[in-house]
Copies of this chain bind each other. A is one copy, B any other.
Amino acid sequence: MNFGIAIHGGAGTILRSSMTTEKEKLYTDALRSALQSGYSVLEKGGSALDAVETAVRSLEDCPLFNAGKGAVFNNAGAHEMDASIMSGKDLSAGAVSLIKHVKNPVSLARAVMEKSEHVFLCGYGAEDFAKQMNLEFADDEYFRDEFRYQQWLKAKEADSTFLDHNIQSEVRSPKSEVNANDKKFGTVGAVALDKDGNLAAATSTGGMTNKKFGRVGDSPIIGAGTYANNNTCAISCTGHGELFIRSVVAYDISAMMEYKNLSLREACDEVVMKKLVKIKGEGGLIAIDKHGNIELPFNSEGMYRAMKSSGGEEKVEIYK
């Protein structure tokens, strides 16, 4: 039985010309480390669920990515995070949004899935549940990062939001057209197929820099940012959340495979390179099907991504 895992650390305007060799190495090392942590779980016969949770925790613990420790500042100067996880075996799912101080949001999403009767918990209530579950909390200092802080001050001064962190630290004004030249969608995610043929997907994010109004993107939305079904595939998205929600992106890939008999590659191409491009829905996703085929499509300049399959294939890539 084939098995494998893919991860992402966000998509967007990630140009080789804006990178230093040193910075590039930091990112690829972090991706490789997260990939390996998830792959090891699978190799030892562990579940796809454990593999995606492990890999996403690794990315959440890394300050480079906008999730967990690396979460950006919202308008109030706090770190508000969203996450979700889904099991392809029984379509069980868990999601949380707008949570603060929870060290690993993906693990809270998993606790919601496995230890509550609910799928989606939000805000203070979700934090109360995390306390009941004895999940690890971290203080503001843990989430504070000088780069993110400067980014936030700049956004706040301009009364603007970043559509997540970006390398040039450029800001865009509220209500402006999404501009492909100034952003990176800060999200992390993982998808996996285990030796038992079970699929799983997980996604986690720190949202938009200086975001107001309790904005929630696609990351915690089952069907939009995350989906897994043993009959088809497992998907984790990263991109312009609003357009991903409206397009029900993750489930759309699965539906095209199930109802139109498309291959994973064909469905990914249709959704990411055609449907999303048509509505300027910038971003990408990682996908694995029940046979272990992996696709890492994106329509942006770059996407932090990595994959490793039992067949021996391994990739850690950033640019187009």
Contact = CB atoms under 8 A, between A and B. Distances in A.
21 contacts: A93-B245, A98-B122, A98-B123, A98-B125, A117-B175, A119-B242, A119-B246, A120-B245, A121-B214, A121-B215, A125-B214, A125-B215, A221-B221, A221-B222, A221-B223, A222-B248, A223-B223, A223-B245, A223-B248, A255-B259, A260-B260
Interface string A290-317: 0000000000000000000000000000
A79 B65 CA distance: 37
Contacts of A124: 214
Nearest to A248: B223
Count the copies: 2
A92 B245 CA distance: 10
B174 A117 contact: yes
Interface string A122-138: 11111011000000000
A279 interface: yes
Interface of A: 86, 91-93, 97-98, 116-126, 128-129, 174-175, 212-217, 221-224, 227, 241-242, 245-248, 251-252, 255-256, 259-260, 279
A59 B116 CA distance: 31
B123 A122 contact: yes
A223 B242 contact: no
Contacts of A252: 251, 255
Given A98-B122, A125-B213, A222-B246, 14 more contacts: A93-B245, A97-B122, A119-B241, A119-B246, A120-B242, A121-B213, A121-B216, A122-B215, A128-B213, A129-B213, A221-B221, A222-B248, A251-B251, A255-B256
Given A245-B223, A251-B251, A122 B119 contact: no
A116 B119 CA distance: 27
A214 B123 contact: yes
Contacts of A248: 222-223, 227, 248, 251
A121 B82 CA distance: 13
A221 B226 CA distance: 13
A246 B92 contact: yes
Contacts of A97: 122
B126 A213 contact: yes
A141 B174 CA distance: 36
Given A227-B248, A248-B251, A120 B215 contact: yes
Contacts of A214: 121-126
A116 B93 CA distance: 29
A217 B120 CA distance: 7
Contacts of A255: 251-252, 255-256, 259
B213 A116 contact: yes
Contacts of A279: 91
Nearest to A126: B214
A212 B125 contact: yes
